[in-house]
Structures are given as structure tokens and as C-alpha cells.
Amino acid sequence: MDFPIIQYDSSYALQTVTMWRESKQQAIGQSDSHPIEDHLYFLNHILVQDNKVYLAMDAAEEQVVGVLACNENWVNQLYIHIDYQGRGIGKKLLNLAKEQSDGTLYLYTFDVNKKAQHFYERNGFRIIGRGNENEEQLDDIKYEWNKPGN
């Protein structure tokens, strides 16, 4: 099954945020502390300012199954619907971020999210730092990817 990638459209905001929150909760074992209205505002007014935002869609269901927010140096958000993980959607979105990068990408993931760590490492990212500077108060890992030849 193919999952087309589209540029973010605010008509999908509630689906996107709902999917994002469920995926994140599954990954880190923590509910989002912000009301859904704040998360919608963040997506529609803050995230879109400095990032290209893309949605992976299940066209048959007209359902958002993934979200990517990136710029030329950062993957700021990458979440896949919990029922669609392991189908190549994350790799497709990550490759889009790589193609649009200036040759170097950074991202953070939570230390408790072993599945994400394996995913990023399989896709050419390497650990360059560790810390705990996030509102979830969880240890995180900073990753870097460099385009071959850079």
C-alpha cells in the first residue's frame, strides 16, 4: 500500500494532533500535558512558521498516518500513527527531510524511545549528545545525519 505525502493542510489539524499525541504517548509512556487546543495552536501557528510540515495519508481512509516537520537542518517532529508503524512511512518521511536538508540534519529523541533510536540509527543518524532539556523531564539523545560526501 502506498501512503502519499502531502503538504500540511489545516483541515487535517485535529486528525494530525490526535495521531501525534497517541504516537508520542505510546513511545514515551506519558500523556501530553497540554490541552489539545494548545497543541492545535502550536501546529497551526508556531510549527508551520519555521518548518515545512508534511502529512502521510492513508488515501483510502482519508486518514493522517504520519507527520513530519523539518527545515534544512532539523527534523523537529516525526510521528507515525500507532497502527501504521513498520510500513515504511517513517523512512519515506525521513528521506524527504534528508532530500530537503542542506546535507546535515539534527534531531532529538527520548532515551526511553528505543524503537525510535533503532530507526534513526538504521537510517544513518549517529548520537552526538545526551541531555535533559525538555518539558517532559526525560533524558534525550541528540542525533546527527550527514549526507554521504559531506
pLDDT of residue 4: 96
Residue 10 DSSP symbol: G
Q: Where are the domains of the chain?
A: 5-146
- Tell whether the model's pLDDT for residue 132 goes beyond 90: no
Burial of 11 (0-12, 13-18, 19+ CB in 10 A): exposed
- The verdict on domain 5-146 having CATH code 3.20.20.70 is no
How do residues 5-52 score in pLDDT, each as one tens digit? 999 999 999 999 999 999 999 987 878 878 999 999 999 999 999 999
Distance CA 36, CA 91 (A): 27
How do residues 49-58 score in pLDDT, each as one tens digit? 999 999 999 9
Q: Give the pLDDT mean for 117-123.
A: 97
Q: Give the pLDDT mean for 135-139.
A: 78
Q: Are 29 and 137 in contact (CB under 8 A)?
A: no
pLDDT of residue 28: 78
Measured on CA atoms in the order 14, 4, 99, 112, is the torsion positive or negative? positive
By three-state DSSP, how is residue 89 classified? helix
- Tell whether the model's pLDDT for residue 150 goes beyond 90: no
